[in-house]
Every structure is written in C-alpha cells, then in structure tokens.
Amino acid sequence: MPELVFFSGTMDCGKSTLALQIEHNRTARGLQGLIFTRDDRAGEGKLSSRLGLVTDAVEAGPGLDLYGYVVEQLSRGGRVDYVIVDEAQFLLTGQIDQLARIVDDLELDVFAFGITTDFRTRLFPGSQRLIELADRLETLQVEAMCWCGARATHNARTVGGEMVVEGEQVVVGDVAQSAAEVGYEVLCRRHHRRRMTSAAARAAALSPDVLPVTAT
C-alpha cells in the first residue's frame, strides 16, 4: 500500500542525503519520481545535501498546489511513480494535506523529509501536520552531535556566533555560515537551554577569568 512517510531529525543528520539516495535507488530501477523542495540552501528549485550532491527539484512555494501539480503532470502523459519532498517543515498545513491526498487518491508513495522543531523548540506547522497525518514516522539514525560531543537534539539560530531565541520562524541559513551571518547550529538540550553555542564555549575557554594564573 502507498504510504506518506515522514523522515525527521535535526539539521546535519543526513535528511537531504537520504532523499537523494531514495531518488537514486528508484531511478536505477526504472522508476520516475517528482521532487519538491522549499528554501533549499543551494537556491530555488534545488535539492542539495551537505556532501555536495545536488539535483533539480520543483520549488514548493506557498501558492503551489502539490496535488494539482502531480495531477497536471499525469494528465499531460508524464510518469510519476513516487514523490519526494525535502524541507517539508516549511510547507503550509494545507500542502501537507495535499501530500496525503496524493497517497490516497493517486496511490503514490510520498517521502517527506524535514526537521520537527524550530530554533525556539516549537513545532513547525508543516511538521506538526505531517506527524498528525503520516502513515509512518521515521527518525533518522545518523545522529548529529553537539559541540560538547553529546547527541544533538535541538536546532539553534545564531547571529554573530550568539544564539538568538526571537525572530521569524523561517530564516534561510546553514550550519556552514560564517559567524557574522545568520546561521544554525545543532545543540544538545542542556546547551540549548543555556544558549551555549560552540562560539560561546570557545570564548568562555579563552576568558581571563578561567585561564590559569602563573606565579611571578
């Protein structure tokens, strides 16, 4: 039976890489898929992974009817055997409903990938709706790591290396951004609660208050 599957995890845990792997495996077996994405780090209409892999995709802006788009492709004689959606947390709740309709009415598998919570530890509306509707929830097994070495469970937004907890829910950035830009970092819950990023930890380690005193 076709399924709506939601693969979730923190940033930097291999979601986009798995999406590309699923696409590669099915293409190698003669299947043809349709890929949607939203606000990918590589730019509009791209699905990319941090390993350097990238492929073309359909940009799923807020005005795009995903179900209608698939139906149109099929009506024109196109072939669609499955659907992949990356950055699914950015989709509107109505678009998630459309994904469920693709599964139920068109009998196609839909594989959605995204993070569940934002930098404030609040659920993204798209992810919440996926949790409510998905036939299957899969947590990625590749564990991202906090700077301290513990398993990272939370996404943090940084500006100039400092963690921020206010602002718009969606601001495009990446874990590889320079310190002067808006960036993101994965942290364990303890250091997310303490707002202790890797930059803050380095600064604390170099502080004169904690450096050893040498007798003269």
List the catalytic residues: 87
CA distance 182 to 160: 7
Residue 146's Cβ-side half-sphere holds a number of Cα atoms within 13 Å equal to: 21
| 172 annotated ligand-binding residue | yes
Closest by alpha carbon to 55, among 27, 29, 80, 77? 27
Q: Which one, of 44, 53, 43, 42, lies nearest residue 19 by Cα?
A: 53
Instruction: Confirm whether residue 42 is marked as ligand binding.
Output: no
The gap from C-alpha 41 to its chain's centroid, in whole angstroms, comes to 10
Residue 98 assigned to a binding site: no
Query: How many CB atoms neighbour CB 110 within 10 A?
Result: 29
User: 37: annotated binding-site residue?
Assistant: no
- 160 is known to lie in a ligand binding site: no
Was 87 annotated as part of a binding site?
Answer: yes
Q: For the chain, where are the E strands, in sequence order?
A: 4-8, 33-37, 46-48, 54-56, 58-59, 82-85, 109-114, 136-139, 154-159, 162-164, 182-187
Query: Is 9 labeled as ligand-binding?
Result: yes
- 67 assigned to a ligand binding site: no
Residue 12 is labelled as binding a ligand: yes
- Is 89 annotated among the ligand-binding residues? yes
Could you tell me which residues are annotated as the binding site? 9-16, 86-89, 170-173, 184
Could you tell me which residues are annotated as the binding site for substrate? 170-173, 184
Could you tell me which residues are annotated as the binding site for ATP? 9-16, 86-89
